Chains A and B, each alone.
Chain A
């Protein structure tokens, strides 16, 4: 069974928020209605977003790592927000596993937002319905778009290709490959929600070099010998630069 999802590579995310703005731009322009903003240019701006980037500092200075952490609906394989919905407005699509809200059925009771451990759902204060990431369902199947553009807006916008999109149940897809090869993990696995979205951890490329390996012992042509110092009266690069 197909389960579309995002794989987010924390190793390359630079925290530029391009995914946030492109998501908002695409989804606020859609047929489902705009995503309302309040005080956008004033004190305490707030509004509906499907995707946000948070930043964490790991460790204690000076041994710190800055991790930018994009956060959106994880399209769980066992979504706890779906069974609690009294109207059936919150549902998981059979064909591709995307968790969606039917805005025409939603009564705005907020129960699903309580039942999501990730806080991935937000009520739209204008439309008074629950909204969340749709994985750009109105874009990824759009035959009028070139095939390369049939991806979620955030994936297309990411300048570092930190966001990958595909079927996590297809073992040969690029996302499955990345999860396998680079230690992809799920958020809060303790609740059994089986998030479809995975994150790739920070990775350091380490090689171990011992001191005796710094100079080659087998160096028959003596290629890496120390160059002789120039003579005192000979011009050096320093002389040219200071002139």
Chain B
């Protein structure tokens, strides 16, 4: 497929936003059950969530560049019963809305206690809203990934690994940003977030490698014989039906040299996984904010390459009708 940068930025930016929110909420939840120290409510959870919101909004903005008719985007919420894209269109603004409310609760300080579970598990409004928003964050990961995983004949995508990778990679990049954010505000959660970023990155590395290995030995169900319905082992295309190319020759091919395509795989394996982990280990031992920030930025740039590769790698069965590109 031809990778569209609008979609690459959409999926990676909202992944960061979702991951950052999940990181912040985990911090708050752990502080309630007294595993982690409580943070400054407006400064940490509040502004942290606003930072997540910035990434989500940037992702949403990028998605509009993908549309031929952005002014009709509101229509895309209509078919949520059948379309994962429609579901994403509903869940993303809902998630953004609750993230904003969550941020505002912390910044305003109006955070009434709703109820108390057991003896001392105090559920206040922010914890309650955050719990709902956590469900939305994971739903959004599922919706975004299922847009691709549900197309069964795009065999590189049609696997649960797609959903797992979108979730883990989004969380890893979000936690990396949370570690940098914690280092910036000099919170004592640096080690917690840094440690989880490394853990999530390693998990994502394992599942992404699993997806790469699966796709390396994929067996395509369609071939030229089934595409035109002529049973012969030697079929040569003589004409493709157009002289100067068409939508079919542009949209479904990444259009780069094989050497470039292959090199992107090594680029993203280095930038998403190996370099950030090394940087984070260095950052955690030295506690320098810049190292955390660089780790996040490097991983994000790597994720752009990862998403490019994800799209470019998918081999659409319609390509069988276009043998020479």
The residues of A with any CB-CB pair to B shorter than 8 Å are: 15, 20, 39, 43-49, 52-60, 66-67, 69, 71, 80, 82-89, 105-111, 113-119, 122-123, 127-129, 185-191, 199, 201-202
Task: Please state if A56 and B228 are interface contacts (CB–CB under 8 Å).
Answer: yes
Task: Please state if B72 and A87 are interface contacts (CB–CB under 8 Å).
Answer: yes
Of chain A, the residue at the smallest CB distance from B241 is A52
Collect the chain B residues with CB atoms within 8 Å of residue A54's CB. Answer: 237, 239-241, 321
Residue among A85, A89, A107, A202 facing the most chain B CB atoms (10 A cut-off): A107
Task: Please state if A87 and B75 are interface contacts (CB–CB under 8 Å).
Answer: yes
What's the Cα separation between A99 and B298 when bound, in Å? Answer: 46
* A107 and B72 contact, Cβ closer than 8 Å, known pairs A84-B84, A118-B318: yes
What's the Cα separation between A219 and B236 when bound, in Å? Answer: 50
Majority SS of interface residues in chain A?
loop
What's the Cα separation between A128 and B68 when bound, in Å? Answer: 5
Task: Please state if A117 and B317 are interface contacts (CB–CB under 8 Å).
Answer: yes
What's the Cα separation between A190 and B244 when bound, in Å? Answer: 31
Stretch at the interface among B23-31, B39-47, B103-111, B150-158: B150-158
What's the Cα separation between A69 and B150 when bound, in Å? Answer: 30
Q: Which of B83, B85, B238, B322 contacts A57 (CB 8 A)?
A: B238
Task: Please state if A188 and B245 are interface contacts (CB–CB under 8 Å).
Answer: no
- How many Å from the CB of B201 to the closest CB on chain A? 29
Task: Please state if A107 and B73 are interface contacts (CB–CB under 8 Å).
Answer: yes
Task: Please state if A202 and B238 are interface contacts (CB–CB under 8 Å).
Answer: no
Residues 214-251 of chain B, each 1 if its beta carbon lies under 8 Å from chain A, else 0: 00000001100011111010111111111111111001
Collect the chain A residues with CB atoms within 8 Å of residue B226's CB. Answer: 187-190
Residue among A44, A56, A105, A191 facing the most chain B CB atoms (10 A cut-off): A56
Q: Is B76 an interface residue (CB 8 A)?
A: yes
Q: Is B262 an interface residue (CB 8 A)?
A: no
What's the Cα separation between A67 and B231 when bound, in Å? Answer: 12
Collect the chain B residues with CB atoms within 8 Å of residue A199's CB. Answer: 228-229
- How many Å from the CB of A5 to the closest CB on chain B? 15
* A84 and B230 contact, Cβ closer than 8 Å, known pairs A107-B72, A108-B69: no
Collect the chain A residues with CB atoms within 8 Å of residue B83's CB. Answer: 83-86, 111
* A190 and B222 contact, Cβ closer than 8 Å, known pairs A49-B246, A86-B76, A86-B79: yes
- How many Å from the CB of B156 to the closest CB on chain A? 12
* A86 and B317 contact, Cβ closer than 8 Å, known pairs A107-B69, A110-B251, A122-B247: no
Task: Please state if A117 and B245 are interface contacts (CB–CB under 8 Å).
Answer: no
Q: Which bucket holds chain B's interface residue count?
A: 35 or more
A-contacting residues, B286-316, CB 8 Å: 316
Collect the chain A residues with CB atoms within 8 Å of residue B242's CB. Answer: 45-46, 49, 52
Q: Which of A107, A117, A202 contacts B318 (CB 8 A)?
A: A117
- 14 further interface pairs, Cβ-Cβ under 8 Å (given A46-B244, A67-B228): A52-B241, A54-B241, A56-B238, A57-B236, A80-B151, A86-B76, A106-B69, A107-B76, A110-B66, A113-B251, A115-B151, A116-B318, A117-B222, A202-B230
What's the Cα separation between A49 and B242 when bound, in Å? Answer: 10
Collect the chain B residues with CB atoms within 8 Å of residue A56's CB. Answer: 228, 230, 235-238
Collect the chain A residues with CB atoms within 8 Å of residue B245's CB. Answer: 44, 46
Collect the chain A residues with CB atoms within 8 Å of residue B89's CB. Answer: 86
Collect the chain B residues with CB atoms within 8 Å of residue A85's CB. Answer: 79, 83
Q: Is B252 an interface residue (CB 8 A)?
A: yes
Residue among B76, B78, B154 facing the most chain A CB atoms (10 A cut-off): B76
Residues 63-83 of chain B, each 1 if its beta carbon lies under 8 Å from chain A, else 0: 000111110110111110011
Q: Is B147 an interface residue (CB 8 A)?
A: yes
Q: Is B191 an interface residue (CB 8 A)?
A: no
Q: Which of B222, B232, B240, B319 contacts A188 (CB 8 A)?
A: B222
Task: Please state if B67 and A108 are interface contacts (CB–CB under 8 Å).
Answer: yes
What's the Cα separation between A15 and B154 when bound, in Å? Answer: 30
Q: Is B1 an interface residue (CB 8 A)?
A: yes
What's the Cα separation between A164 and B163 when bound, in Å? Answer: 44
Q: What are the nearest 3 A-B pairs in CB distance? A: A108-B68, A119-B318, A128-B68
Q: Which of A43, A60, A122 contacts B234 (CB 8 A)?
A: A60
Q: Is B139 an interface residue (CB 8 A)?
A: no
What's the Cα separation between A69 and B252 when bound, in Å? Answer: 20
Q: Which of B1, B73, B78, B240 contacts A88 (CB 8 A)?
A: B78
Of chain A, the residue at the smallest CB distance from B86 is A86
What's the Cα separation between A46 and B249 when bound, in Å? Answer: 11
What's the Cα separation between A49 and B321 when bound, in Å? Answer: 15
Of chain A, the residue at the smallest CB distance from B76 is A86
What's the Cα separation between A47 and B232 when bound, in Å? Answer: 32
Task: Please state if B230 and A114 are interface contacts (CB–CB under 8 Å).
Answer: no
